[in-house]
């Protein structure tokens, strides 16, 4: 009975004291604001595209204005055409920005710094269409015959990979989820290491360990800090959901987040807990080996190195680009908590795969907890120089 009581008391102190700290509050509010702000900004940038404005100057083929607009709409671009009296007028219009590009003498595209691909395609196609029409008319063909000649052929599109209309939403959630897990696990894992070193540095650890055993102290600390992390994840996800619901309907809101089941969102929380447990105990073991906060940097990079490949794999696998590497990585102990959620959100993971991955991670956590507790016990009372992990694992105290 005592052990859980001790763990609870330690965890409560971590939560109360840490949530009082300015750093924690600023970080949480800052990250929530960043996420919400980012979503709003994305939706503004990703708003409806503007019409392309095209100027005409010099000799023009008769009726080309209509052809340009027709070709544009065939390409899903809104096009606006303005005819100028001369080549010079059209060129000036480009220079002043009144139009994006100008077609002069039916043969040259004038632009400020090179036409865009769609501008080039629209204009060259339109010129060809207009020319053929003029030729057809001069040959005395009927309107139907001309239409048959000049009608742009619409190519059918066949996609070999079955396209997923929800791909955008899945990519977004998978990427944001992966990033959130990565950042939160690293951040709160470091809080654990920091807390351990702090207690060593101010020597309070001996006062604590004379009352409770090292495993209770370590577990209480990890649980307390982990719950704070969970709170942060919840606040950030909440901020994101609110931001998505208030941005204009164009842009991001076209990404329908509801296509991803609630189960996938919940799985993010489960994987946060698993990933945090795993990495916080790794951080704990390394944190215990140093005695001063200044020395923490010299060991804190190790967990980062362990987890970064997972983050890179997530980045490479976005947009439905899930490969064998992704699938293998979702079973690698230190990578699974970041990679598996991506597969779950993308609908790629089978239930048994998730179960297997969770089992692998749980076993790893169990091993790490045992290892870290022993290292912690061996190194907690050793002050001064950095203690070797192996030495701490074998030793006890002092």
Partner 1 sequence: MHRCHGQYLRVVAAGWNRTLSTLRDMLSVRNISKRYGDVVALKDASFDVREGRIVGFLGRNGAGKTTTMRTVFGLVDPDSGTVTYDGAPIDDAMRSRFGYMPEERGLYLRMKVHEQLVYFGRLSGMERQAAATAADRWLEELGLTDRRDAKLEDLSHGNQQRVQLITAILHDPDVLVLDEPFAGLDPIGVASLSSVLREFAAKGASILFSSHQLDLVEDVCEDIAIIHEGSVVVEGSLSDLRERAPYRRLEVSIEGSPWVPDVEGSTRVEANGRTHAIVDSTVSVDTWLSRAREAGNITRFSYEPPGLQDLFREAVGE
* Residue ranges binding partner 1 (CB under 8 A): 2, 6, 9-10, 13, 17, 199, 202-213, 381, 383, 395-398
> Whole-number minimum distance, CB 311 to partner 1, in Å?
33
Judged by beta carbon, residue 133 or residue 200, the one nearer partner 1 is 200
Paired tokens of 98: 């009144």
Instruction: Provide the minimum distance between the beta carbon of 271 and partner 1 in the complex, in angstroms, as a whole number.
Output: 32
End-to-end alpha carbon distance in the chain: 29
DSSP of 344-363: HHTT---HHHHHHHHHHHHH
Query: Is residue 92 classed exposed, middle or buried when 0-12, 13-18 and 19+ CB atoms within 10 A define those classes?
Result: middle
Both tokens assigned to 223: 């649980």
Q: Which is nearer to partner 1, 65 or 199 (CB)?
A: 199
**DSSP bridge partners of 102:** 55, 110
Would you say 77 or 213 has its CB closer to partner 1?
Answer: 213
The three state secondary structure string of 370-392 is HHHHHHHHHHCCCCCCCCCHHHH
Closer Cβ to partner 1, 326 or 373, answer by number: 373
> Toward partner 1, which CB reaches closer, 11 or 300?
11
Task: Kindly give, in sequence order, each residue whose CB lies less than 8 Å from that of residue 4, ignoring residues fewer than 6 positions away.
Answer: none
- CB of 205 vs partner 1, minimal distance in Å: 7
Least separation, in Å, of the C-beta of 20 and partner 1?
9
Q: How far is the CB of 22 from partner 1 (least distance, A)?
A: 11
Contact 101, 110 (CB under 8 A): yes
Nearer to partner 1, 202 or 249 (CB): 202
* Least distance CB 248 / partner 1 (angstroms): 45
Cβ burial of 254 (10 Å; 0-12, 13-18, 19+) is: exposed
Residue 208 C-beta: closest distance to partner 1, Å:
7
Q: How many helices (H) and strands (E) does the chain have?
A: 15, 4
Choice between 209 and 243, CB closer to partner 1: 209
Q: For 51, left (φ over 0), alpha (ψ -120 to 50), or beta?
A: beta
């Amino acid at each position: 009975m005592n052990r859980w009581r001790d763990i609870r008391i330690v965890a409560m102190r971590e939560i109360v004291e840490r949530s009082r700290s300015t750093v924690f509050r600023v970080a949480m509010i800052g990250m929530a604001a960043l996420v919400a702000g980012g979503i709003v900004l994305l939706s503004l940038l990703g708003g409806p595209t503007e019409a392309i404005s095209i100027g005409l100057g010099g000799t023009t083929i008769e009726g080309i204005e209509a052809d340009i607009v027709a070709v544009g709409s065939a390409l899903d671009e809104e096009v606006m055409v303005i005819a100028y009296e001369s080549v010079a007028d059209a060129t000036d219009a480009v220079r002043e920005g009144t139009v994006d590009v100008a077609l002069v003498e039916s043969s040259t595209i004038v632009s400020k710094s090179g036409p865009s691909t769609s501008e080039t395609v629209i204009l060259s196609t339109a010129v060809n269409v207009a020319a053929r029409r003029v030729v057809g008319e001069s040959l005395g063909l009927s309107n139907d015959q001309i239409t048959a000649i000049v009608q742009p052929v619409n190519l059918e599109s066949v996609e070999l990979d079955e396209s997923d209309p929800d791909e955008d939403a899945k990519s977004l959630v998978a990427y944001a989820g992966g990033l959130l897990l990565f950042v939160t696990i690293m951040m709160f894992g470091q809080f654990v290491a920091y807390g351990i070193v702090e207690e060593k540095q101010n020597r309070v650890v001996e006062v604590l360990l004379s009352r409770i055993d090292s495993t209770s102290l370590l577990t209480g600390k990890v649980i307390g800090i982990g719950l704070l992390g969970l709170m942060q994840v919840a606040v950030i996800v909440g901020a994101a959901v609110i931001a998505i619901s208030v941005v204009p309907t164009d842009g991001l809101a076209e990404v329908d987040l509801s296509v991803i089941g609630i189960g996938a969102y919940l799985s993010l929380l489960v994987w946060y807990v698993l990933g945090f447990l795993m990495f916080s105990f790794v951080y704990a073991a390394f944190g215990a080996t140093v005695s001063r906060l200044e020395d923490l940097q010299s060991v804190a990079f190790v967990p980062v190195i362990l987890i970064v490949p997972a983050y890179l794999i997530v980045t490479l696998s976005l947009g439905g680009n899930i490969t064998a590497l992704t699938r293998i990585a979702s079973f690698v102990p230190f990578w699974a908590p970041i990679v598996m959620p991506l597969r779950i959100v993308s609908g790629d993971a089978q239930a048994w795969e998730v179960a297997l991955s969770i089992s692998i991670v749980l076993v790893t956590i169990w091993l790490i907890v045992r290892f870290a507790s022993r290292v912690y016990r061996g190194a907690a009372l050793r002050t001064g120089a950095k203690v070797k992990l192996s030495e701490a694992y074998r030793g006890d105290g002092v």
